[in-house]
Amino acid sequence: MFAPWARLSFAVFAVSWGANQFAPMQLVYREHLGLGSGSFTAMLGSYILGLIPALLYFGRVADRIGRRPVILAMVPVSIVSSVVLLLGAELPLLLYLGRVLAGLASGMAFGAGTAWMKELSVDAGPGVGARRAAVSLSAGFGCGALFAGLIAQWLPAPEVLTYVVHIALMAVALVLVWPVPDGHVPRTEQGSWRLSILSNPRFRWGVMPWAPWVFGCATVSFVTLPPLVSDSVSEVSIAFTGMIAALTLLTGALIQPWARRMARHDETLGVRLGVGIGVLGFAAGAGTAYTDGPWSVVVIVAAAVLLGAGYGILLISGLVAVEHIAPADELAQSVAVFYCLIYLGFAVPFVIALAAPHIGFGACFAAAAVLMCAALIFGRRVRINPPGRAHRRAHV
């Protein structure tokens, strides 16, 4: 009834939903638990503690023993993460543990799931697997934030109901993904921990310098921008936060099919366009420092669309590049390394929060735009100069 890639896509969508369902809950926990913004930010960031090690370890495991065992093991971990978050309404310390477990589940899913999607989509053409994985991930992020925000704003017991919805989604995901075949041929030897992609100039200078700005764009949009207009949307502030997150991430999902077709013909064009649109998004974000009332809401919506488009184009451009560069028996690990790099962008909102009281939000957004452009220019210059050495190393 459903194609194997579509079944896997739902599993990636569901775990991504769980990764971002926590984002709009700050005001809920402030009201019910007296949780301050600093504590909530720490809880939000603790996701990385589970994510990064899981990406690196389970990407290797997926290349070693296959994709299917990792994805099937991920589903109960994701369910347990939401159960723990649900219990955190009574014991706030469990919110930290729940976020770490959500990161663990995401780390298990993203590297193995993207590699498996590529293998299930091999007959559909180059880059299609990367696009399907990126759309599933972005749609899950966006819908998780949107529905959590709507539940938290208008339905009873949001600190419980939000996570019950995700648990149900993961149960459906397990049923759907269970019969999906794994065509990956496991390694016959243990191999080393060294990844060949890290020594490839196309990756080191063509991807790594700008990769953190993938989530740098997205997280600034839904973490930094909504509080700037809280006075203008005070009656629906929780739902508004979820809607901005959804607008950002779903814009990224919707633009990815077009961006994948463009990246297939010219990888660097997609990167340049993604950076350019991201810079425009930061410029629009800076406009919030000079507007108020309804106009500030309009400006933030425009910034969310631009930053979401930049996020989506850069995400798919990076995944297509990794598909082209990585050896087949290192694909899951290589994708995991790329995800580790893009998740560094989660630090951008925290840096802005530290700097804004001293230099203002307008200056922070301007600095972010300059640094984003510099990452692209630096990568291009180092990759191109000197061309002879880069060419020789690429063929070693």
- Closest residue by Cα to residue 165 from 237, 240, 157: 157
pLDDT digits (tens, 9 = 90+) for 327-372: 888 888 899 999 999 999 988 888 888 898 999 999 999 999 999 9
pLDDT band at 168 (very low <50, low <70, confident <90, very high): very high
Residue bearing tokens 């922070």: 364
Residues sharing a CB contact under 8 Å with residue 138, sequence separation 6 or more, in sequence order: 16, 249, 250, 252, 253, 256, 311, 312, 315
Q: Looking at per-residue confidence, does 383 or 302 come out higher?
A: 302
Mean pLDDT in residue range 367-385 = 76
- Max Cα distance, the chain (Å): 64
pLDDT score at 389: 41
Tell me how far the alpha carbon of residue 23 is from its chain's centroid: 13
CA 87-239-32 angle, to 5 degrees, is 35
Mean pLDDT in residue range 204-213 = 91
pLDDT band at 385 (very low <50, low <70, confident <90, very high): very low
pLDDT digits (tens, 9 = 90+) for 49-90: 999 999 999 998 998 899 999 999 999 999 999 999 999 988
With the CA atoms of 311, 312, 313 and 318 taken in that order, what torsion angle do they form, in degrees rounded to the nearest 10?
A: 80
In order of their start, the domains of the chain are 4-180+196-394 (1.20.1250.20)
| pLDDT above 70: residue 189 | no
CA distance 243 to 305: 12
- What is the C-alpha R_g of the chain? 20
Residues sharing a CB contact under 8 Å with residue 153, sequence separation 6 or more, in sequence order: 236, 238, 239, 242
Output the CA–CA distances (angstroms, integers) from residue 295 to 71, 137, 230, 285, 299, in the order listed: 45, 31, 13, 12, 6
Exposure on the CB side of residue 43, measured as CA atoms within 13 A: 25
Least confident residue range of 58-72, 167-181, 188-202: 188-202
Contact 50, 107 (CB under 8 A): yes
pLDDT band at 194 (very low <50, low <70, confident <90, very high): low
Mean pLDDT in residue range 141-161 = 91
